[in-house]
Amino acid sequence: MNRRAFLGSIAAVPAVGLLTESHSASAQQALPTIRPKRLAPGDTAGIVAPASATFQSVDVAIARESLEALGLKVKVGEHVLSRHGYLSGNDKDRAADINRFFKDDEIRAVLPIRGGWGSSRVLPYLDYAAIRRNPKIVLGYSDITALHLAIHAKTGVVTFHGPNGMGRWDAWSVEYVKRVLFNAEAVTFENPKELADRNSLTQTENRVQTITPGQARGPLIGGNLTVMTTILGSPYVPSTDGAILFLEDVGEDLYRIDRMFTQLKLAGILDRIGGFVFGTCAECGPGEGFASLTLEEIFADHIKPLRVPAWFGAMIGHQTPQWTLPIGLDVEIDATAGTIKMLSAAVQ
């Protein structure tokens, strides 16, 4: 399934860094890093819908009950069940829910209910001054990449790439949510080492594949490849100068993955990074009628020539389980071991 079909199926059911000199006006200078407060049982999380429409109230109930199972109280944004075509209400209304929750002293975390498409459209309407004055945990992935990148670029606030409100809250992923957001641990992220079954002689799932060995330190920046390339050249793109760039995607033919890495290269993004991590690319195939590079060959063409520590196969993407990664926080990667080490807690 390609990404267009993927986004269509959602509607049917009830970048980045200092740019080249010609684009330097759009590049964001790094701001002082701001860490939000940690979560504790009894805190309140606000559910918002910055992207695709949620068609059934049961989905909101599932998101609410999942957060309550974490010990949180829940407020639901006014427009979570609104609809404007395939979007959850018009752009200003979706942004208004986010702004309202950042100004609400009772709210400690803002959780998008789902991704899909549409978060990029709300970016001009967010109150970044209010977000900076009232830093809160923002957790999500996929299309929520646009919120993560914009908030960090405009405010310096650390946000978190992890489960959406309506996501699959498996025990492995929840453990990372608790360690990073509740316990304020400086976590070292690494893939599970268990064998797929007792008949296996070696690890066949969740394998680390090194592109270029070595270690590197820098701020962790990234998210969904398609979403990141969509907002390249805008004022909502944080600097990736010396950053550890992490990416994932879903439902894209591999020639499109190649095309997007070419875009990052031509925009001057890849030449400035200090390290690279790729997660999964679920349902990414060659496409009809196309001969194809493999994902490994795409990395050989675009990433290996950078000569920075790089690896792929991380627990990042549209498949569970997944890590809760702090966007904007300094980390250290080991491309041989396949680890991402937080150099400090991401919450206060």
DSSP for 282-311?
ET----TT-----HHHHHHHHTGGG-S-EE
- At residue 344, the pLDDT reads 98
pLDDT at 289: 61
Task: Report the alpha-carbon distance of residue 286 to residue 269 in Å, rounded.
Answer: 25
> What confidence category does residue 197 fall into, taking pLDDT thresholds of 50, 70 and 90?
confident
Selecting among 79, 152, 248, 302, the annotated active-site residue is: 248
Pairing label, strands 73-76, 107-112: unpaired
When pLDDT is averaged across residues 74-92 and rounded to a whole number, the result is 97
Looking up residue 251, the CATH number of its domain turns out to be 3.50.30.60
pTM score, whole prediction:
0.90
Residue 348 forms part of a structural domain: no
Same domain (yes/no): 229, 111: no
> Is 181 part of a structural domain of the chain?
no
Count: domains in the chain: 2
pLDDT above 70: percentage of residues in the chain: 90
Q: What pLDDT shows up at residue 200?
A: 78
Looking at 79, 148, 152, 318, which residue is catalytic? 318
Beta strands in the chain (DSSP E): 44-48, 73-76, 107-112, 137-140, 159-161, 188-190, 209-212, 215-224, 244-250, 275-282, 310-312, 325-327, 330-334, 339-342
Angle at alpha carbon of residue 40, lines to 35 and 43, rounded to 5° = 95
Each residue of 159-179: pLDDT tens digit? 999 999 998 799 999 999 999
Token pair belonging to 8: 């269509």
Known catalytic residue: 248?
Answer: yes
Lookup: tokens for 197: 């079954």
Catalytic, out of 52, 142, 173, 234: 142
d(CA 177, CA 198): 29
Is the domain of 123 the same as that of 247? no
Q: Do both 214 and 244 map to the same domain?
A: yes
Shared domain for 205 and 328, answered yes or no, is: yes
Residues 137 and 206 in one domain: no
The domain in which residue 88 lies consists of 7-15+26-167
Q: For residue 66, how many other CB atoms are within 10 A of its CB?
A: 19
- Give 97's contacts (C-beta < 8 A, 6+ positions apart): 46, 48, 49, 77, 78, 79, 80
318 is catalytic: yes
Whether residues 39 and 135 fall in one domain? yes
Burial annotation 83-98 (CB, 10 A radius, 16+ → b, else e): eeebbbbbbebbbbbb
CATH number, residue 61: 3.40.50.10740
Q: What does the pLDDT look like over 204-249, one tens digit per residue? A: 888 999 999 999 999 999 999 999 999 999 999 999 999 999 999 9
In a domain, 236, yes or no: yes
| Residue 24: band (very low, low, confident or very high) from pLDDT cuts 50, 70, 90 | very low
Same domain for 31 and 124?
yes
